[in-house]
Amino acid sequence: MEIDISKVDAIIDKHSLEHRWLITNLLAIQDEFQYLPQDAIRHVAERMNIPILQVYQVAEFYKVFKLEPPGKHLVSVCRGTACHVRGSEALIERMGDLLKIAPSRTTKDKQFTLDVVNCLGCCALGRVIVIDDHFYVNVTPNEVESILDKYVSNGD
Partner 1 sequence: MAEGNTIAESDVERWREKLLAARDASRPRITVCGGTVCLALASGEVGAALEQALEQQGMHASVEMKTTGCPGLCDQGPLVTIYPQGIFYTKVKPEDCSEIISQTVKNGEIIEHLLYEDPQTGEKIIHITDVPFYKEQTRILLKDSGLIDPYKIEDYIAVGGFRALEKALTEMTPEQIIAEIKRSGLRGRGGGGFPTGVKWELCRKAPGDTKYIICNADEGNPGCFQDRGVIESNPHSLLEGMIIGAYAIGANEGFIYIRHEYPLVVKIIRQAILQARENNLLGENILGSGFNFDIEIQLGAGAYVCGEETALIASIEGRIGEPQARPPYPVTKGLWGKPTTINNVKTWAWIPPIINNGADWFTQIGTEKSKGTTIFSLVGKVKQPGLVEIPMGVTLRHLIERIGGGAPNGKKLIAAQTGGPSGGCIPESLWHLPVDYDSLREAGSIMGSGGMIIMDESICMVEMARYFLDFSKFESCGKCSACREGVRRMYEILDYITRGLGQEGDIELLEELGQAVKIGSLCGLGQTAPNPVLSTIRYFREQYEAHIRDKHCPAGVCKDLVSLDAVKEN
Positions in the binding site for partner 1 (CB under 8 A): 18-24, 26-27, 54, 57-58, 61-65, 79-82, 84-86, 117-126, 128, 133, 135, 137
- The count of C-alpha atoms lying within 13 angstroms of the C-alpha of 127, restricted to the half-sphere facing its C-beta, is 20
Q: Considering the complex, what minimum distance in angstroms separates the CB of residue 96 from partner 1?
A: 15
At 45, give phi and psi (nearest 5°): -60, -45
Burial of 134 (0-12, 13-18, 19+ CB in 10 A): exposed
Pick between residue 1 and residue 53 the one whose CB is nearest to partner 1.
53
Q: What's the rounded Cα separation, in Å, for the pair 51 and 86?
A: 45
CB of 81 to partner 1, least distance (A): 3
Minimum distance, C-beta of residue 154 to partner 1, in the bound complex (Å): 21
Cβ-based nearer residue to partner 1, 38 or 54: 54
The residue (of 19 and 110) whose beta carbon lies closer to partner 1 is 19
Q: Which CB contacts under 8 angstroms, 24+ apart, belong to 60-64?
A: 62/23, 64/27, 64/30
In the complex, minimum distance from the CB of residue 107 to partner 1, in angstroms, rounded to a whole number: 22
Nearer to partner 1, 28 or 95 (CB): 28
